[in-house]
Every structure is written in C-alpha cells, then in structure tokens.
C-alpha cells in the first residue's frame, strides 16, 4: 500500500505558485494497476517521482508499505560519471539485492556489450532506457512506476521486454503515465486524473480517460 497524507508539491513559476498536488490524501492499495492521466505540465512525472521518493514534497508525506521501483523511463536517476555496471551495483545495495546477480542479469538483459563498462553520460537515450528497464526487471517490486516508457531496440529485444514485463505484472502492480490510451487500457484497470493540483480516482480506466478528455476539451 502507498498512502499520500495531505501531500502538497508546489513550484514557483514566473512569480506564481504552481501546484502539482495540493493537500491531497489518497491510498493506493495493492491489487490495482493504475493509469495516471493529466494534461502536459500537470505534474504526472513529478507525482511518480514523489511516490518513488526521488524528490521531496513541499508538505505532507508519502507512506510506502511496499517495495516501490524508481520510474521506468526516467533516466535522470543514474550517475552519469559511473559506468552502467557501477550504477547497477549502487541500485543493488539500495534495494538489498545480491550485487553480482543483478550485475549479471542486467548485463545479459540490456545487451549493452562493452558500453556496460563505460560512463552512463556517454550513453544514448535508448541505451539508458535499456539499462533502466534491465535494472527494474532484475528487482522484484510490489509497484512498478512507468513513465512513458518507450520500447527500444530491435524486434527481438522489444519482444523480450514485453514478455518479462508481463511476467512481473503477475505478482506486481503498476502506476503508469502514458499519452497512449490503448497502452493504458492494456495495462491498467483503474485511473487517476491529475488536474490543477487535485487527484480524481476512477475505478474504471475508461471513465478516467473520459474525464481527462473532458478536461482537455475545456482548455
């Protein structure tokens, strides 16, 4: 379970205060895969990073009674001066994983060849995505946070990613940001619409998509 308690996250922009979340209380239970919708700039990616714990709220708190991944698709969590392998070792220690096992798993999965031993700052965005996806699939999380993940690589690599991800979802939930409605409907049963610092929960992803489309039509 993940619980948001009076969560507020705000930024100053051109003298004004913009709220990503404003005094929001909400419980995300286990057993529900959730699609997160909102207009560009609403703060979907920021909310995922808050849930992951990579940034702090302005006020309130997030209680995580579960093992939560870093956002797949968000590659800023890597230390660019470290090699891919060194980043994997760092993540393994954070999540209490067997370091050598995770290093070997990601090396095989990500198919980065010798680039695995090069600084991540030399990677292309696709290589970073492979590394991030490999690490996430090498750790068993209760919740996978997915931020507009894009399949990279050749057909066989994309097929491998999809197969492993589907296997993980047999025992895990996801909180997914995507602008693709078919993708949201494929992976998510429920939805949250983020609008003007407020969260609206819908037990059916189709209803969440409908509300999001209505919000978009108004502005």
Q: CA nearest 87: which of 72, 98, 99, 69?
A: 99
Q: CA nearest 126: which of 138, 112, 137?
A: 112
Radius of gyration of the chain (CA): 18
Q: Name all domains of the chain by residue range, CATH numbers in brackets.
A: 1-69+144-161+169-219 (3.40.50.300), 78-140 (no CATH)
pLDDT at 174: 92
Stated pTM of the model: 0.85
Q: Is the pLDDT of residue 152 over 80?
A: no
pLDDT at 76: 61
Cβ atoms 189, 200 nearer than 8 A:
no
pLDDT at 146: 87
- The Cα–Cα gap between 99 and 108 comes to 14
**Cα–chain center distance at 22:** 21
The residue-averaged pLDDT of 106-128 equals 93
- The Cα–Cα gap between 96 and 158 comes to 28
Q: Is the pLDDT of residue 147 over 90?
A: no
């Amino acid at each position: 379970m993940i619980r948001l308690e009076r969560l507020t996250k705000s930024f100053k922009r051109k003298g004004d205060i913009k709220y990503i979340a404003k005094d929001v209380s909400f419980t995300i239970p286990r057993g529900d895969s959730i699609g997160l919708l909102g207009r560009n700039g609403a703060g979907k990616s920021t909310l995922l990073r808050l849930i992951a714990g990579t940034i702090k709220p302005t006020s309130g708190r997030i209680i995580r009674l579960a093992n939560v991944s870093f956002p797949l698709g968000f590659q800023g969590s890597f230390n660019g001066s470290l090699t891919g392998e060194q980043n994997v070792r760092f993540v393994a220690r954070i999540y209490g994983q067997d370091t050598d096992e995770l290093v070997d798993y990601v090396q095989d999965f990500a198919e980065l060849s010798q680039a695995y031993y090069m600084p991540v700052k030399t990677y292309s965005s696709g290589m970073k995505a492979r590394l991030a996806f490999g690490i996430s699939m090498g750790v068993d999380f209760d919740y996978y946070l997915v931020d507009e993940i894009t399949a990279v690589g050749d057909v066989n690599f994309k097929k491998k990613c999809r197969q492993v991800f589907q296997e993980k979802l047999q025992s895990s939930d996801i909180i997914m940001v995507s602008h693709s409605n078919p993708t949201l409907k494929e992976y998510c049963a429920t939805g949250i619409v983020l609008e003007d610092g407020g969260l609206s929960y819908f037990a059916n992803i189709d209803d969440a998509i409908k509300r999001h489309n209505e919000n978009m039509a108004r502005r």
